[in-house]
């Protein structure tokens, strides 16, 4: 049974029904301590917004290549990433030595010109890069609308995660104020892969939690505890949710960061719009009090989230790998 990816309906949780928080937390704990993934249903993210965001991903990737290359990934890891120029090279689950067969467009939290973090000049908190409004009318506003709704939704789900970890429901609230999220609009074309090449090579996510709106075009596969690769079950209108490496650090390995991959689609294009939730930029990542004991000391030294991002992005998504793309 631990190889099965569970489906968790959170409609009662969002409605505030008596006992729903505790019931949801039990399901989340079971899922993230066993397989590390679950399918989330009963959410209140408008399906029309999800569908519109998938359409925006397709619209962006239909732009002429010259237009996309004008938005090449910058030092903040915002913008366009060309196909075949990156993979998760730090992966501990596969020797990834070939570029992934997808192209992607990244944004992070949109910060006002007078935002103190933006004014600081630090990496990863700079301005997003956007296509010209004449090329993609309303693209920016539509994508930001989805990012804002997902940020709000993900943070409203955190009390269930906290209770699953034997903490007060508001335990994570301050850590995710001004959360450092990433929204990625990915395009997987139906092209043949070389040996040991994938749509996305086997890896674990680096962030806290990932919320992936599901599509009926298959591709995402999860490595089960038995070592088999399994497709995530498709449930219309749902999210595939997983915990990432930051969750592993915070929970002292109580929750998993499960390897997953994407294979190239067959017969048509696949688009993905994963939302990667991270804590505020300068949040210290250290073991939670409910996950340590004299017999189970912390496995990692505390690290600031900004420093973790610098390490992980430089190792895997270094913009310098795209400088000669033409």
What pairs with residue 255 in β-bridges?
Answer: none
- Mean pLDDT over 202-210 rounds to 96
Quick one: pLDDT band at residue 326, thresholds 50, 70, 90? Answer: low
Q: What is the DSSP letter of 19?
A: T
**Distance from CA of residue 20 to its chain's centroid?**
26
> Is the confidence at residue 258, as pLDDT, over 60?
yes
Residues 309 and 182: their CA atoms lie apart, in Å, by 11
Q: What angle do CA 187, 211, 297 make, to 5 degrees?
A: 125
Residue 74 phi, psi dihedral angles, 5° rounding: -105, -170
pLDDT in tens, 55-82: 999 999 999 999 999 999 999 999 999 9
User: Contact, 68 vs 80, CB < 8 A?
Assistant: yes
**Residue 100 DSSP code:** -
Phi, psi of 154 (to 5 degrees): -60, -40
pLDDT at 1 over 50: no
Domains of the chain: 7-321 (2.60.120.330)
Phi and psi torsions of 104, nearest 5°: -150, 155
Q: Where are the alpha helices (DSSP H) in 39-189?
A: 47-61, 65-69, 116-119, 139-164
Nearest to 229 by CA among 272, 194, 193, 262: 262
User: CB neighbours of 100 closer than 8 A, spacing ≥ 6?
Assistant: 83, 84, 86, 87, 197, 198, 199, 200, 201
Query: Which tokens go with 24?
Result: 């949801």
The arithmetic mean of pLDDT across residues 21-42, rounded, is: 97
Tokens of residue 200, six digits: 């996305």
Which residue stretches of 165-304 are H helix?
Answer: 245-251
What's the average model confidence in pLDDT over 236-240?
97
Percent of the chain predicted with pLDDT > 70: 99
Radius of gyration of the chain (CA): 19
Alpha-carbon distances, residue 2 vs 11, 35, 232, 253 (angstroms): 24, 6, 14, 17
What's the mean pLDDT in 143-152? Answer: 98
For residue 88, what pLDDT band results from cuts at 50, 70 and 90? confident
Taking residues 209-215, report their average pLDDT.
Answer: 97
CA atoms within 13 A on the CB side of 311: 10
The CA distance from 17 to 85, in Å, is 48
Tokens 């999860």 sit on residue: 222
Q: How do residues 120-137 score in pLDDT, each as one tens digit?
A: 999 999 999 999 999 999
The two tokens of residue 9 are 């309906």
User: CA 220, CA 231: separation in Å to the nearest integer?
Assistant: 6
Mean pLDDT value of segment 299-320: 91
The secondary element (H helix, E strand) that includes residue 58 is helix 47-61
Q: Which position has the token pair 């804002």?
A: 148
Instruction: Provide the pairing of β-strand 7-9 with 37-41.
Output: parallel
């Amino acid at each position: 049974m631990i190889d099965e990816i569970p489906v968790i309906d959170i409609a009662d949780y969002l409605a505030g029904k008596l006992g729903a928080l505790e019931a949801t937390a039990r399901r989340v704990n079971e899922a993230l301590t066993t397989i590390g993934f679950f399918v989330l249903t009963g959410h209140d993210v408008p399906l029309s917004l999800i569908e519109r965001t998938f359409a925006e991903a397709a619209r962006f990737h239909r732009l002429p290549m010259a237009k996309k290359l004008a938005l090449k990934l910058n030092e903040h890891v915002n913008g366009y990433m060309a196909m075949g120029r990156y993979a998760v090279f730090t992966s501990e689950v596969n020797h990834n030595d070939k570029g992934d067969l997808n192209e992607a467009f990244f944004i992070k939290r949109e910060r006002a010109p007078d935002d103190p973090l933006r004014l600081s000049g630090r990496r990863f908190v700079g301005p997003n890069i956007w296509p010209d409004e004449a090329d993609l009318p309303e693209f920016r506003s539509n994508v930001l609308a989805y990012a804002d709704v997902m940020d709000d939704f993900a943070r409203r789900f955190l009390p269930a995660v906290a209770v699953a970890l034997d903490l007060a429901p508001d335990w994570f609230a301050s850590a995710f104020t001004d959360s450092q999220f990433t929204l990625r609009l990915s395009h997987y074309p139906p092209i043949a892969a070389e040996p040991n090449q994938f749509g996305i090579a086997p890896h674990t996510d680096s962030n806290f939690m990932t919320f992936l709106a599901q599509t009926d075009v298959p591709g995402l596969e999860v490595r089960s505890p038995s070592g088999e690769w399994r497709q995530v079950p498709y449930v219309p209108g749902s999210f595939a949710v997983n915990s990432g490496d930051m969750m592993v650090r915070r929970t002292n390995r109580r929750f998993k960061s499960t390897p997953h991959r994407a294979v190239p689609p067959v017969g048509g294009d696949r688009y993905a719009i994963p939302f990667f939730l991270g804590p505020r930029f300068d949040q210290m990542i250290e073991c939670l009090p409910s996950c340590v004991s004299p017999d189970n000391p912390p496995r990692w030294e505390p690290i600031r989230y900004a420093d973790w991002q610098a390490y992980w992005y430089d190792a895997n998504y270094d913009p310098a790998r795209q400088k000669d793309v033409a």
